[in-house]
Every structure is written in structure tokens, then in C-alpha cells.
Structure 1
Amino acid sequence: MKLEEERGENGCLVGRSQLCQDEKHQVNGKPLAKGEVEVYAKQEADGKSDVSRKSLNMYTWQEIQKHNQETDQWLVINRKVYNVTGWADRHPGGRRILNHYAGEDATDVFRAMHLELDIVHLYLKPLLIGELAPGEPSQERNKNSQLVKDFQELRRTLEVMHMFNANLGFFFLHLTQILVLEVLAWLILCRFGSGWLVTIFISFILTISQAQSSFLQHDTGHLSIFKKSKWNHLMHKFVMCHLKGLSANWWNNRHFQHHVKPNIYPKDPDIDVGPLFLLGDLQPVKYGKKKIKYIDYEKQHLYFYMVGLPLLMPVYFNLQSMQVMYLRRYWGVRHLNFKCFSLQDIAWVSSFYIRYFITFGPFYGIFGTVLLIYLVKFLESPWIAYVTQMSHIPMKMSKEENRDWLSTQVLATCNIEQSFFNDWFTGHLNFQIEHHLFPTMPRHNYHKVAPLVRSLCAKYGLQYVNKPMLKAFGDIVRALKKSATLWMEAYYET
């Protein structure tokens, strides 16, 4: 992934409707006050809407699908055609997400990834250029229109059932768990000193805290836990940057690309782990036929234990987060943006290290505290690696096939059997299918909607995979071994 080519979202959550007032949201060079962005956007949209209505054209899918380039992007949402080419660089979710759906129907992904639709629609109005011709289907002809309708009906049913309403107490308890563990580690250190046995013990306590922080920041990055968007944004910054020491903006940009096109080459950054690992059926064959052998891929299922598990968090994610913050200049303090907290990621991440040095520095010194931080990240890494990879690496990986939203997500994800421990250990990401279908749904409702999703999958012959956790762990290695075999066959064929 070429980090310097990606665009950030100016401090707001990617894929959400929290549109920030930055340099582009000013009038006469002056920043708009809180709440004025909606008014300004509405005036701008209303000013153009009359012209738009008069000049609306009718388009066929054949015409729309031609506009699928980075410099020429059209989307279809609820039969309306939008030219988002000029808006792409201003999109809070980054331009790549829009480009992933250029020339396609984006109705379901639009609904899945945005929370405050009223605000988003204000920004859509000026981009409206036409609508589908009366004889055209609402989706591309290769898609099953009845399946799409049934899925949309399922979502409406879940909305009526209030399945998208977050329970504030649930997430408060998880935050309390994290803070109690952090304080407990410090109290044990104060009581028993910094001996090596105590250090190992508090490292395990901090590891649990860090892993649970990963799951909580995942929630705050997706959901409206609070009614006010600015508090959701602040909460995500606090958990991701202050409690974990990683960039929230980096995570958003990367993670939401994964959500909109999971396991799709080259749109999902999570499967772009070459040249270290080769995943799926296509990439190994491609490398093999080109006689590419950066590493001995025959043994990738073995060095996954030595490299992939222990180094994901302390090396790969940590360095990538720092690189993104530097390249995109996420530092310092800006004016208070619309619904956005003013501190940028580098300031927030710095507070993570300052907190550790204040808390543990008197016992370990500066160098020892740095070692403690990376020991905890090292211990956390296998936990997070297993949880994040077990639901995707063994599943189908392909090039763009322009499938409907339900099929795209179900084919690329699988669930892990429910239990109290599995729910806690995975942060409810054992319900990966439901999470991918409904990213803005709070995790405490996944188990309630799972039977309905399973029933819909059965109706259309989509395999709803649900497996034991240990089998899921093993499937990661088995998938890597299968990919290695495909590479060898292609590499050594004469």
C-alpha cells in the first residue's frame, strides 16, 4: 500500500457522516462556526438543486459503468446518479473508498457506512447529475435484484427493531474494565516493586487492557455511542490514540477500505501483505508465474508464527501509524472544527507515551518504560492477529466481481461460535458476518440478528460459515499452506 497516495479525512471518522469544517468549509476565508456547516451546505445544495433538476439526464447502466476511473467517478444511490469526481478529494472517508465503487450501485454500502444521512444528503445534492432510465433495473444486471430487495427489507426490519441503537452502559462497562486494569497494574507495581516477576504479571494485565482497548476503539470508530457526533469522535481519539498509542485517522482510512471491499484485490489493504505473505488463490499464482521469490514462500505457514503473530502490533501497525501521521501532517492543534475535536493524532498519541513515562518511568526509567510498552504490544500482537485474521484469510479472495453487498460480505467473512469467553476474547468480532453487513450496529446486538442473517443466506444458497475458535485459528495456517502450494506449483512448473 502506497501510504503517500492516500488522503486523510481532516480529523473526522472515515466512512461516517461527520463532515469536518476545514479549509474547504469556509466562507470568505473565515471558518464556519459550529452548526453553520449544515446551513451552508444546505444553502449550497439548494442553490444548485433547481439547476440540477432542470438538467437531470437519464442514464443506462452501460453508460454509468464507463465512469469507473479515478479521474471520472459516477455512483448510483437509490437510482440517482452522482458525479463524485470533484468531491473525491474532499470525501471524509478518503478518495479511495469512492473509487472502489465508481461505476457501480453504491446504495447498500452508502447506507451501511454512514450514520447521519440527513447531513450526508446535503452534500450529495450538488453532485446529482441524473437518474437511471425508467427501463433500467435498480442494480446492475448481473446482480440478483430480489436478493438485494430482501436484504434491504431485512435492514429496515432491524431498524424498526432498534438494533442500531447503542447501549451506553454496555460500552461504559468495557471502558471501566480497561481503566481498572490500567490502575491495577500501577498499584501492583507501587506495592511490590519492579522485580521481574511483578513486571511479567503487570505486562499480562496491560496486555488484556490493550486488547480490550483495540475492541473498544473498533466500536467507537464505527458507531454513534453518544448522540453528539463530536463526543463519538472524541471518544475514538481517546481510546485509539491515548489508550493505544496509534493513529485514529490511519486506522479509519485503512479499515473502511477493508469494509467496503473485503478480500478484493487490490482494494482491500488488509490482504496486501506482500512480499512477506501470499494470500488466496490468485496472488501466489501471479508471483509464481513471474518467478518472484523474495522469501521462501513454501514455509510462509511456519514463519507466520515467528513473524506475523508477534510483530503485527509492535512493528507493522506501529510503524505504519507513525508513517501516516508524519506524511499527512497529523500534528499540532487546529481550530475547533465542526463536530471535531481540535487536537490532531500526533498530539493525542504523544499523550499515550507521556502517560506511560509518568506512570512507569519512576520504576523503570525512560529506556525500561519503552521496553515495557513494546513488551505489552508484543504480547498483545498474537491475540489481535488471530482475532482479526481468522475470519478473512481462510475465506474467498478474488478480483473485483461487482457482487451485491450481502454476497460480497458473506463470501469474505466467517463467524466463530458464540460463548461468553469467545464474545469477550474477540470483542464480539466472532460475529464478523453481521458486523460486516451492518458496520454501524452495536456489537451487543449481533447475536440477536444472526438468525435472521443466516436465514436470508440459506434462502439464496450463500454459505453462512460458523466454526469453533480453535479450528478458525488452525484455518489461518492451513490457508497459508494452501497458498504456498499454489505458489510452488506455478514457480517450479517448466
Structure 2
Amino acid sequence: MTFEEKPEGNGSLVDENQLDLSAKHQANGKPGASGRAKLPARQEANTKSGLPRKSLSTYTWQEIQRHNQETDQWLVINRKVYDVTGWADRHPGGRLVLNHCAGEDTTDVFRAMHPDPDIVRLYLKPLLIGELAPEEPNQERNKNSQLVEDFQELRRTLETMNMFSANLRFFFLHLAQAQGSFLQHDMGHLSIFKKSKWNRLMQIFLMGHLKGLSAKWWNNRHFQHHVKPNIYPKDPDIDVGPLFVIGDLQPVKYGKNKIKFINYEKQHLYFCTVGAALLMPVYFNLDSIRAMYCRRYWEDIAWVSSFYIRYFITFGPFYGIFGTLVLIYLVKLLESPWIAYVTQVSHIPMKMNTEENQDWFSSQVLATCNVEQSFFNDWFTGHLNFQIEHHLFPTMPRHNYHKVAPLVKSLCAKHGLPYVNKPILKAFGDIIRALKKSAALWMDAYYSHPET
């Protein structure tokens, strides 16, 4: 979610180079007519007149929270108010990430998702429209201000401890072990190399050439999941209908509306036998192709095409066209259950709800859980058994998660939040138990309510 190059200029609010928001940063890959963000009238007037900082407008939280629509998006970062409406379509992490956070304080979200926020702040300057009124608190009044301050202090401590510095030998070792899924995931969070362009090139190579999937498609989905985990309808990872009904809300909604695409009473069996196996070769592939075609991701199309070309050149002479396609499918089929279980153990059994606008720390801790540390668990999950730490600090190299876990657990205990840490077999079993619980809710709603 960072930008590829640091803009040059004198750093003023109206620096022309800062206003030149290049088309290469657009999420949809389409250059605009001028390559510049369209600024709202208030911003344009402020930038043209060169108003000093003290003349910036001040706003209350009540005013800011009204600007939470797709066509009207304001964000608050470190008490500064930004109108990102015109910039949303150019956001490298996808426009929906901004839309999901509109009208909120996003200080911790911004810091968590950007490994080099100083660069991004230069692009924010033309979008600045004001600041919080002096009498307003740093966050919305419903948030636990002490918890927010404690978490921000924890992050500063971890930065001082160099916990965000990567050990490249660790990642080269995983590359040698052919763990491309983990590496492309890390490159998406831009936590390995300091220069974002190298992260981007490495990720698109791993995702497109080695795995045959769109990097932009993955990032747009995955960043939404990180920003709003287990939140309906903002987290695409829990939007698995009509194949499954999960959580407490979706099953009741489907049941009351008499929706029955499959027999959800048996969905835990479908997940074990069909769902996990078809996640990669069918669902992910089709959704990736759809996104590339509809959004014209030409670069991703080229890289994904190179994946299939490589397979046909290598295996075509031996197995023919049909045999090579079967081989591709089988490879993805073998990988799919592993991906499904490693990713879903931390989320399906956890709380799912509609937007509650919680602070960053609470929203991540309540929606995720860990799998206990062991040599096997660390290797099998690629250190993503520390999902709580990963969600709190997405740009932290995963080899440091076990080091920061005790500090996170201590902060949870201080503020009365659960820090869930399970044995791996129990975590796998909890997926099945959660699916059965949701199925029971669906059945109760489906058979208890008359058709309307």
C-alpha cells in the first residue's frame, strides 16, 4: 500500500510535484487524463491561496463521521482531516480500503499498513482540508483512549527494538523451500525490502509467474481483510455465501430469507471434502481471472500468462495440452487444503459482526487467534500461527512475531481482552465446530420462520 517513488519537491502544501499523482499509482491501472487527483472545491481553494496551517478549518467528530460514503470520504490521521474522495480510485491498496475507513480515525490503520509512512504523507498533503477542533479527543469518543495510547506506545517500543527489520536470510531460506505462498503474502505487505518497487516486482513475480494469480486482485482483497477483519460486509474473506454460511449473522439472514443453495446442515462436511480442496484451483482462480478482466489489470494478465506458458513449454511435450492443464490443477489442488486450514483457523471460529468502529487493537485481537508455538507449527504455518501479532503489525517480518507476542499478551491482559492461543489440532477442530454452530443457527431460522 505504499508508493513506488518518493516525490521530489520543497515539501510545501502546494508543491506541484506532490499534486502530480501519477497514473502508475492508480489501483485500476488506468491513467487519468492528466494523471492528477481531482481535488474538491475546498481543497483546491486552499491549495491555490496557499493558506498557512493556522488557517486550516477545524472539525468536530460529529461532522467528520458524516463523510463516510463512497462519494464523500474523509479520514483522520494524527488529528489531521483529509478528503480522499478524489484519490480513492488511485489508491494502490484499492479504493474499498479507504471507503471502509471513511469517517473514522485511521491513525493506527495508516501506520500499520504503510512500512514507510513518511513517503505517503507527502501524497497526503494535497488532500489535507483541516484538523480536529482543539476540544475534540484524538479518537472518536466511543473508543478506549487509554488502550489506543498504550498500543501506540507499544509500537514505538517495537520500532526502537528493530522488530520491523527483516532478516533476509530467513526469507531466502523459505524461497529455497518453495514456500512461495508465504513470500508473496509478505511482499504484499511490503515488509521485506525497504524500496517498495522491489517488493512490488518480487510479489508480482511470485504471485503471477509462480502461482498464476493476480497480485492486484490479491492485494485488494487482502488489505480489506486486514483493515476490517471479520466485519460484514467489509471483509471479503467472510463473504463466502452462497457456498457457506458463517458467523452468527449470515446464517440467520439466509434462514429467514429461505436461502438454501446447499444443505447448510452439512456444510462442515462440504468444507472438509470439497471446499478446502477447491479454494485454490477453482474459487481463487476464477475470482482472479474475473478481476483481471473486469478491471483491465494488463500487467497481471501478462505475468499470469507467463505462468501458463512456462507450464506448457516445460510439460507440454510430455503430457500434451490436456495433461498439462490437469497437472496445473493437481498442483493447486494439493496446495489448497493447506492454504484453507492455515488461514481459516484464525478467523472462522472468532467473532464476526457488522461495523462497530472499534479501536485498531481491539478489532484485530477479537477477530483473530493464534496457534501455539512449536518448531512444527512455526514451519507448517510459516510463522503465521501468530495471527494476532500479524494483524496488529502486518508489515513486521514474521520471524519476529514470537518475540513480540508476550508484550501483546500483556497489553491484552491489562485491558481485559482475550488473547486466544490454541493447540493446532484444536484450532483445526474449531473450524468444524464453528461451521456446525452456524449451520444450527441457519436451520433454526429456516424452519422456524414462515415464508414471506
Letter in structure 2 aligned against 1:153: E
- Is the 1:165–1:441 Cα contact (8 Å) retained in structure 2? yes
- Is the 1:45–1:126 Cα contact (8 Å) retained in structure 2? no
- Work out the CA distance in 2 between the residues paired with 1:168 and 1:24: 27
Match of 1:380 in 2: 335
Match of 1:198 in 2: none
C-alpha displacement at 1:363, in angstroms? 2.2
Task: Give CA deviations for 1:316-337 in whole Å, capped at 9, x if unaligned.
Answer: 0011111111111122xxxxxx
- Is the 2:166–2:397 Cα contact (8 Å) retained in structure 1? yes
Match of 1:404 in 2: 359
Match of 2:224 in 1: 257
Task: Give CA deviations for 1:52-79 in whole Å, capped at 9, x if unaligned.
Answer: 6364112111111111111111111111
Match of 1:190 in 2: none
- Is the 1:76–1:106 Cα contact (8 Å) retained in structure 2? yes
List aligned pairs for 1:66-145, cutoff 5 A.
66-145=66-145
Letter in structure 1 aligned against 2:165: N
Q: CA 1:329 to 1:28, structure 2 compared with 1: closer, same or farther past 3 Å?
A: closer
Q: CA 1:48 to 1:473, structure 2 compared with 1: closer, same or farther past 3 Å?
A: farther
Letter in structure 2 aligned against 1:21: S
Letter in structure 1 aligned against 2:249: L
Q: CA 1:28 to 1:170, structure 2 compared with 1: closer, same or farther past 3 Å?
A: closer
Letter in structure 2 aligned against 1:270: D
Q: CA 1:275 to 1:49, structure 2 compared with 1: closer, same or farther past 3 Å?
A: farther
Match of 2:261 in 1: 294
- Is the 2:24–2:31 Cα contact (8 Å) retained in structure 1? no
- Work out the CA distance in 1 between the residues paired with 2:401 and 2:368: 15
Of the candidates 360, 384, 407, which is equivalent to residue 452 of structure 1?
A: 407
List aligned pairs for 1:197-216, cutoff 5 A.
212-216=179-183
List aligned pairs for 1:164-203, cutoff 5 A.
164-178=164-178
Task: Give CA deviations for 1:383-429 in whole Å, capped at 9, x if unaligned.
Answer: 11001111000000000000000000000000001111111111111
SS in 2 for 1:73: strand
- Is the 2:190–2:196 Cα contact (8 Å) retained in structure 1? no
- Work out the CA distance in 2 between the residues paired with 1:45 and 1:438: 37
Match of 1:181 in 2: none
- Is the 1:241–1:352 Cα contact (8 Å) retained in structure 2? yes
List aligned pairs for 1:230-309, cutoff 5 A.
230-309=197-276
Q: Over aligned residues, Cα RMSD in angstroms?
A: 2.3
Q: CA 1:155 to 1:289, structure 2 compared with 1: closer, same or farther past 3 Å?
A: same
Letter in structure 2 aligned against 1:376: V
Structure 1 unmatched ranges of 5 or more: 1-14, 33-43, 179-211, 332-343
Task: Give CA deviations for 1:26-61 in whole Å, capped at 9, x if unaligned.
Answer: 9998999xxxxxxxxxxx999659326364112111
C-alpha displacement at 1:297, in angstroms? 1.2
Letter in structure 1 aligned against 2:146: Q
Q: CA 1:52 to 1:294, structure 2 compared with 1: closer, same or farther past 3 Å?
A: farther
Letter in structure 2 aligned against 1:84: V
The answer to whether structure 1 residue 423 and structure 2 residue 378 are counterparts is: yes
- Is the 1:226–1:232 Cα contact (8 Å) retained in structure 2? yes
**TM-score, structure 2 as length reference:** 0.90
SS in 1 for 2:346: coil
C-alpha displacement at 1:440, in angstroms? 0.3
- Is the 1:60–1:133 Cα contact (8 Å) retained in structure 2? yes
Match of 1:16 in 2: 2
- Is the 1:17–1:115 Cα contact (8 Å) retained in structure 2? no
Match of 2:16 in 1: none
Q: Percent identical across equivalent pairs?
A: 80
C-alpha displacement at 1:359, in angstroms? 2.1
Q: CA 1:172 to 1:488, structure 2 compared with 1: closer, same or farther past 3 Å?
A: same
Letter in structure 1 aligned against 2:86: G
- Work out the CA distance in 2 between the residues paired with 1:55 and 1:430: 49
C-alpha displacement at 1:442, in angstroms? 0.4
C-alpha displacement at 1:158, in angstroms? 0.4
Of the candidates 347, 351, 367, which is equivalent to residue 302 of structure 2?
A: 347
- Work out the CA distance in 2 between the residues paired with 1:295 and 1:18: 45
- Work out the CA distance in 2 between the residues paired with 1:96 and 1:351: 29
- Work out the CA distance in 1 between the residues paired with 2:337 and 2:33: 49
Task: Give CA deviations for 1:53-111 in whole Å, capped at 9, x if unaligned.
Answer: 36411211111111111111111111111111121112111111111111110000000
- Work out the CA distance in 2 between the residues paired with 1:358 and 1:46: 58
Match of 2:191 in 1: 224
- Work out the CA distance in 2 between the residues paired with 1:270 and 1:152: 27
